[in-house]
């Protein structure tokens, strides 16, 4: 009774009572060893098996409805064909977030194309994400996509110390050996500001995003680069710290309007669309005409921005594409053994709408 599990009886028993049948049953029914079944059904080893055996095994596998267990396979060191996505957010909705939503769409799309499953790890904050790091690395997935951690998160050095492939999405800090896929914050911001300068503006304000996001500093730098390239002075009174939220744009616009007339800028660059939306609302509330009195442009685009009054000039970035490229880069690291440490910075396209005009003549 030792090899009972090889008998027909047990095959029948398994089929009826358990979920799935294993390589054992296929081997027994086909009259070959488990190794042979494995060779036939997996990877590129079919060639090692003689044709009659091969087709018999195939036949039996289909008859029995056999399908290998990814878990067992994973344990044996094969890839799980699964991409993990770690995101920490304190938002009520992931899907309707203008950043997370499109990025997730891109990730899902690319994973579908590459026959990868997607495991989502959602956390309230980066502390708990860090605490749960071991869970993300418990074998469930072959690699990790980290979405936009703050600059101070310990999670990155921890992951860097480990050996699991991962990359940063929506953050492009420069750290040796760290892969990331992001939009090209600096250059995109520069282009937007250059457009304002080309329209004749000399005093241009910037509303910044969260100070602890890498992107904020990069966008500010782009703003500085544009000014410098045109020989315009960098005036700190025109730099408004803030956060990537509508309320921040609103508040900063109110502050901006309190500046004495001669110090007031003629154009405003908002670090993202939500800030721009808030700023526009404040300006409208105060009766400031856009673009007649103040031109407004921002980085980042979404449907709402195009349907404001006036529609906003903005750098259109494809966050969806960021998600797709992130997946492809990670898969390269996992399966093709590409080295980590690559930086992919996607460009934007400036969309001219009606919120920018030449400065008013004094």
Partner DNA sequence: TTGTAGGCGTTATCAA
Partner DNA sequence: TTGATAACGCCTACAA
Residues interacting with a copy of itself, by CB under 8 A?
17-20, 65, 67-72, 74-75, 80, 82, 92-96, 100-102, 104-105, 108, 111-112, 117-124, 134-135, 137-140, 162-164
Tell me if 62 contacts DNA by CB under 7 A. Answer: no
Answer whether 200's CB lies under 8 Å from 359's CB.
yes
* Pairing mode, strands 204-207 and 267-270: parallel
Provide the minimum distance between the beta carbon of 115 and DNA in the complex, in angstroms, as a whole number.
15
- The backbone region for 85, taken as left when phi is positive above 0, alpha when psi lies in -120 to 50, beta otherwise, is beta
Residues forming a β-bridge with 350? 315
Residues 238-277 that bind DNA (CB under 7 A): none
Answer whether 83's CB lies under 8 Å from 145's CB.
yes
From the list 23-31, 149-157, 255-263, 276-284, the region that binds DNA by CB under 7 A is 23-31
CA distance 93 to 336: 35
> Among residues 7, 13, 48, 286, which is the contact residue for DNA, using CB under 7 A?
48
Provide the minimum distance between the beta carbon of 42 and DNA in the complex, in angstroms, as a whole number.
3
Tell me if 75 contacts DNA by CB under 7 A. Answer: yes
Which one of DNA, a copy of itself, none interacts with residue 23, CB within 5 to 8 A by kind? DNA
* Pairing mode, strands 343-346 and 295-299: unpaired
Tell me if 134 contacts DNA by CB under 7 A. Answer: no
Which one of DNA, a copy of itself, none interacts with residue 164, CB within 5 to 8 A by kind? a copy of itself
# of chain residues touching DNA (CB under 7 A): 33
CA distance 246 to 60: 62
From the list 24-32, 96-104, 205-213, 242-250, the region that binds DNA by CB under 7 A is 24-32
Write out the DSSP string of 297-354. EEE---HHHHTSSSPPEEEE--HHHHHHHHHHHHHHHHHS-PPS--EEEE--EEE--S
Residues forming a β-bridge with 123? 88
Tell me if 33 contacts DNA by CB under 7 A. Answer: yes
Sign of CA dihedral 248, 252, 253, 258: positive
Which one of a copy of itself, DNA, none interacts with residue 337, CB within 5 to 8 A by kind? none
Chain positions contacting DNA, by CB under 7 A: 5, 18, 22-24, 31-36, 38-39, 41-43, 45, 48-50, 52-54, 66-69, 72-73, 75-78
């Amino acid at each position: 009774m030792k090899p009972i599990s090889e008998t027909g009886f047990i095959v029948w028993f398994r089929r009826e009572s358990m979920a799935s049948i294993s390589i054992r049953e296929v081997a027994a029914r086909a009259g070959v060893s488990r190794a042979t079944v494995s060779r036939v059904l997996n990877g590129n080893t079919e060639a090692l098996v003689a044709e009659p055996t091969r087709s018999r095994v195939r036949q039996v596998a289909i008859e029995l409805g056999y399908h290998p267990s990814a878990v067992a396979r994973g344990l044996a060191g094969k890839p799980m064909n699964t991409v993990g996505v770690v995101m920490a957010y304190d938002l009520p909705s992931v899907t309707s977030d203008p950043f997370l939503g499109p990025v997730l769409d891109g990730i899902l799309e690319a994973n579908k194309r590459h026959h990868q499953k997607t495991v989502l790890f959602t956390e309230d904050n980066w502390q708990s994400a860090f605490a749960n790091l071991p869970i993300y690395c418990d074998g469930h997935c072959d690699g990790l996509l980290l979405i936009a951690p703050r600059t101070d998160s310990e999670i990155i050095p921890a992951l860097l110390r480990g050996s699991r492939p991962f990359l940063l999405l929506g953050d492009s800090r420069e750290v040796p050996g760290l892969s990331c896929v992001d939009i090209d914050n600096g250059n995109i911001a520069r282009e937007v500001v250059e457009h304002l300068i080309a329209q004749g503006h000399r005093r241009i304000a910037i509303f910044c995003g969260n100070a602890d996001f890498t992107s904020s500093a990069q966008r500010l730098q782009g703003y500085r680069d544009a000014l410098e390239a045109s020989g315009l002075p960098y005036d700190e009174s025109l730099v408004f710290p803030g956060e990537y939220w509508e309320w921040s744009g609103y508040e900063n616009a109110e502050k901006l309007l309190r500046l004495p007339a001669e110090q007031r800028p003629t154009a405003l660059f908002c670090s993202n669309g939500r800030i721009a939306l808030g700023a526009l609302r404040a300006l409208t509330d105060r009766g400031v005409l856009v673009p007649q009195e103040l031109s407004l442009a921002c980085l980042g685009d979404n449907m709402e921005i195009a349907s404001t009054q006036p529609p906003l000039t903005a750098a259109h970035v494809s966050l969806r594409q960021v998600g797709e490229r992130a997946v492809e880069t990670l898969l390269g690291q996992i399966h093709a053994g590409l080295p980590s440490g690559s930086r992919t910075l996607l460009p934007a396209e400036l969309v001219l709408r009606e919120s920018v005009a030449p400065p008013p003549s004094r």
